[in-house]
Amino acid sequence: MRGGWFILGAILFTARVFGNSAAASDAPESAQLRYTFKEGDSWRYRVDSIQEVTNFLDGRTNKIDGQYGFRFVYNVVDNDKGALGTLKIACKECTYDSGNPQFAFDSKNPEQLAQAKKMPSWRIWGAVLTADTQMQATALGEIKSFVVKSVDPDFKMMALPRVTNIVEKFASPVMVALPEGKVALHDSWVGTMPVQLSGSVEGGTILNIDEKFTLLEIKTVDGERCALIDVTLAKQPSFTPKSPFVKEMKVSCQVDSLTGTVLFSLTKGNLVDAKLRASVHLSADKEGDRFTDYHLESGWHASRTEGDTP
């Protein structure tokens, strides 16, 4: 347990449910957004994330899961008539900093990388770096499956579900919800962002948040025709505690803000850049006493890179 019975965990910033159809339009500037899976293609991305929580009961602000930086290579190994792509994912680089030097890790540091097999606090990152991962996704950005098949034998003592959770959490943001039909400027559609709660009471509970995507502009960036998309909160999520202990409390779960932008390449059929930041406030009262009161600020940035550039 970290800092209380009931604590918001890291937000899993992944739009995994495809969008609803946007309003049909005959406007000149319109586009059909689709992921394009071509066998043999490789996508390279840098994904950075930070999560911070403020405990209003004691006034402390802490990094829940610290700051993360990852570099992934996605290799398209199968293309089922363009509607479903199978991608093999390799983590080429990872950094972690929670503010505690004992647990900080940087795969670019040769000494830390060499000792990852021996240091208990670093083994998880060795497992992540050697994970054999496969993802299936649709042309609309819906992830159908995500599996870490194995890790290097030197890290087999690491629980595969934990490795899968980390890799999926940071590799999935390259897939964003796209609309079913053609969209014109200012057309909107909805996707779903799962928020993962953790702690000794509601650990693992998923809070689904509807996010609204709006096509702002179609423009050329570095020779590619791209769609610039705005991301905002569509509506407040409904939260129903599963734990009998928490059900006895008066619980408030509010998304204070959700903002972001997505730049999607119509030329290449993949994500160019995406930034998302969310603020979530959770409180719980029991018999008039404030049991927990947290504010979570969480965000990520996924950007496409060229070659082996981090």
Greater model confidence, 138 or 309: 138
- What percentage of the chain exceeds 90 in pLDDT? 49
pLDDT of amino acid 138: 96
Evaluate if residue 125 carries a pLDDT over 60. yes
Greater model confidence, 199 or 52: 52
Greater model confidence, 26 or 140: 140
Q: Which fold has domain 30-305?
A: Lipovitellin-phosvitin complex; beta-sheet shell regions (2.30.230)
Nearest residue to 285 (alpha-carbon basis) of 64, 9, 56: 56
pLDDT of amino acid 196: 66
Does residue 141 come out as left (phi exceeding 0), alpha (psi in the -120 to 50 range) or beta?
A: left
Name the pTM for this structure: 0.85
Section 206-222 average pLDDT: 91
pLDDT of amino acid 23: 43
Evaluate if residue 305 carries a pLDDT over 90. yes
Segment 227-242, tens digit of pLDDT: 999 999 999 988 877 7
Section 203-224 average pLDDT: 88
Evaluate if residue 308 carries a pLDDT over 60. no
For the chain, the structural domain boundaries read: 30-305
Evaluate if residue 15 carries a pLDDT over 70. no
Evaluate if residue 114 carries a pLDDT over 50. yes
Highest mean pLDDT among 57-66, 77-86, 237-246, 287-296: 77-86
Section 11-35 average pLDDT: 56
As a whole number of Å, the CA-based R_g of the chain is 20
Segment 178-212, tens digit of pLDDT: 999 999 999 999 998 776 665 444 556 777 789 99
Retrieve residue 290's tokens: 């404030």
Greater model confidence, 186 or 310: 186
